[in-house]
Structure 1
Amino acid sequence: MWPFSRQPVVPVLRFSGPIGMATPLRPGLSLAAYAGAIEKAFSLSKLPAVAVVINSPGGSPVQSNLIFNRLRQLAAEKEKRVYVFCEDVAASGGYFLAIAGDEIYGDPSSIIGSIGVVSRSFGFVDLLQRLGIERRVYTAGTDKNQLDPFLPENADDISRLKAIQQDVHDVFIGLVKERRLGKLKAPDAELFSGAFWSASKAVDFGLIDGITDVRTKMQMLFGDKVKLKVVEPERAGLLSRLRRAPGASGLGNGLAFADDLVSAVEERSLWSRFGI
């Protein structure tokens, strides 16, 4: 039994949804949004543990890295052990967040992995021609208009994009190898292909440490009377978020809702890749 006269408390951080994707009406996962909650979680309890629950299909590699770094900084500063629990999906940027954990666990049906980088777009060249639309773009800088979806694909633009993707992928791979040192049990070509797996296969590959849930694990560590305290980020109300949006009245509100709709479609696309 954990030697506390009072009921022991484990702070729980929940990271749910796409990372970095945000509109005035749909705040995404970002360090700016979660910084306060993260700091509070590491100061809330005397127990040497913080639990992190993740349900994310990924998103921004920059915001993933920023949140990862802050979790590890505070874990070292406060001498806390971070326990991560994956729900439906911890893939791509979601798995990037997961490796901030000293131990990582999943549900039997969790989807884990997708250690890769992707860029998606559309091409509208033929559509403009069919509609008889002439598009006019003026730039200063020869590469300013690269990857324009209204222009035919350019081999140099694609090569440049792939080089950037490889740099980002290398950072991801390096952190996975560092954080899962001595635990990975599959060839690099398989682990880092961008594929994703069930939690049981992720255990076999050493990507996670086992199958359990946050309450069961915390009770095993700190006793049956342990209390889980979810630490939520502060969120502005709907009206406040609308007021902060560019052009916060009239047309601006309409644009905010339009942005929100586009964001919802993009979010749905991220989740649907994993059958969720």
Structure 2
Amino acid sequence: MAEENSWERQALEHLLLENLKEQRRARRWKTVMRVLTLVVFVALAINLFDVNLGGKAALGKHTALVDLQGEIGPDSRASAETINSALNAAFESNESVGVVLRINSPGGSPVQSGIIHDEILRLRAKYPQKPLHVVVEEICASGGYYVAVAADQIYVDKASLVGSVGVIMSGFGVTGLMDKLGVERRLITAGKNKALLDPFTKEDKKQKEFVQEMLGEVHQQFIQVVRDGRGKRLKETPDMFSGLVWNGARSIDLGLTDALGTVDSVARDVFKAPDVYDYTVKENFAERVAKRFGAAMGDGAARVLMQGAQMR
């Protein structure tokens, strides 16, 4: 009887001990989950509301950095509105001793490029004591170079791609294919040039000449901007404004750029302010989620349409 009571007592003690361990594990997991939830919440808050934990006031003397990345266009991250907003903040800061505009762009809209270019000139005139230098990493072509020539100095890597001083308008023509397929184009306009360079009608010689003249005028505007920006540093060659690009080392020889350099070397050796603060306007969490959600919705809609087409 005593042995039976002893066994029951041991079993009960073991059961209680395991229950206690389970409660401890549950408490630990609850604590871990609370910490993780707090970390996630803080991260979301920082991204959602663009919280600046450091604060600009506590930076001290520094080099201001603005990034111009990708194609320049009204709806891109390299729009005039976005870049100019960052440039204004960088120039207005009492703690920034100079501004570096880092460019990695194949070009884009001549209008947006011109707006950024003109704003740089305005800011340089307003803050003559605060230099703006461009640093090219991978590529600074076409509209990107249009922006760059507004700077005091342009620094490159020896293998950077620079130039492409030209203007392009591309399209296509499918009239031959339409004839083979027996497709008839029905186009009604008021104004004989309203369907300028329509890809579904045969090319009109006078319209082509008109567009060519217009592109030539924009090209001459681009050339003049380069000449004004680079001045006597420019060593013009017959093919300089033909749309060609050059590597960084060759661009220095041609006077298209000034010297080899990076963001860090300019901040450290030119501005004597090695601490770099990024003024680039960042996409916040809400914008990123909205874009990804929109892309996901678009992809889902496309799949539904494809499935519907396959079912017919």
Matched, 1:232 2:280: yes
Q: 1:29 aligns with which of 61, 64, 78?
A: 78
For residue 263 of structure 1, what is the aligned residue in structure 2? none
* Alignment correspondent of 2:111: 62
- Pair 1:14 & 2:57 matched: no
Contact (CA 8 Å) 2:90, 2:96: kept in 1 or not? Answer: no
Correspondent of 1:210 among 259, 265, 273:
259
Q: Distance in 2 between matches of 1:249 and 1:169?
A: 36
> After the TM superposition, which segments of 4 or more aligned residues of structure 1 sit over 6 Å from their partners?
none
| Structure 2, unpaired ranges of 5+ | 1-58, 303-312
* Residue segments in structure 1 that go unaligned for 5+ positions in a row: 1-5, 259-276
Structure 1 contact 82–103 (Cα < 8 Å) conserved: yes
Residue 131 of structure 2 is aligned to residue 78 of structure 1: no
Once the two structures are TM-superposed, the CA of residue 103 in structure 1 deviates from its matched residue by 0.3
Please give the residue correspondences for 1:159-238 in structure 2 after superposition, counting only pairs within 5 Å: 159-187=209-237, 189-223=238-272, 226-235=274-283, 237-238=287-288
Matches within 5 A, 1:138-149: 138-149=188-199
Aligned 8 A contact 1:10 1:45 in 2: no
TM-score, normalising length: structure 1: 0.80
Mean CA deviation greater in 100-109 or 123-132 = 123-132
Shift of 1:215: 0.5
Matched, 1:150 2:192: no
The question of whether the paired residues in 1 share the 8 Å contact of 2:105 and 2:141 is answered with yes
Judging changes above 3 Å, is the alpha-carbon distance between structure 1 residues 249 and 60 closer, same or farther for their aligned structure 2 residues? closer
| Change in 2 beyond 3 A, CA 1:242/1:200 | closer
Partner in structure 2 of residue 105 of structure 1: 155
Instruction: Indicate the structure whose relative CO is greater, using CA pairs within 8 Å and at least 6 residues apart.
Output: 1
Question: Residues 190 and 229 (structure 1 numbering): CA distance in 2 closer, same or farther, change over 3 Å?
Answer: same
2:111 aligned partner, one-letter code: V
**Alpha carbons of structure 1 residues 197 and 48: separation in structure 2 relative to 1, 3 Å:** same
Q: How many residues align?
A: 242
- TM value normalised by structure 2: 0.71
Q: Quote the offset at 1:78 in angstroms.
A: 2.1
1:31-71, Cα deviation, whole Å (9 max, x unpaired) = 12333212111122434411000001111111000011111
Normalized per residue, the structure richer in helix is 2
Q: Is the 8 A contact 2:98 2:271 kept in 1?
A: no
Q: For residue 102 of structure 2, what is the aligned residue in structure 1?
A: 53
The alignment status of 1:118 with 2:171, answered yes or no, reads no
Q: 1:153 to 1:74 in 2, by over 3 A?
A: same
Q: CA deviation at 1:232?
A: 1.9
Amino acid at match of 1:218: A
**Larger Rg belongs to:** 2
Task: For residue 249 of structure 1, report the CA deviation from its aligned partner.
Answer: 12
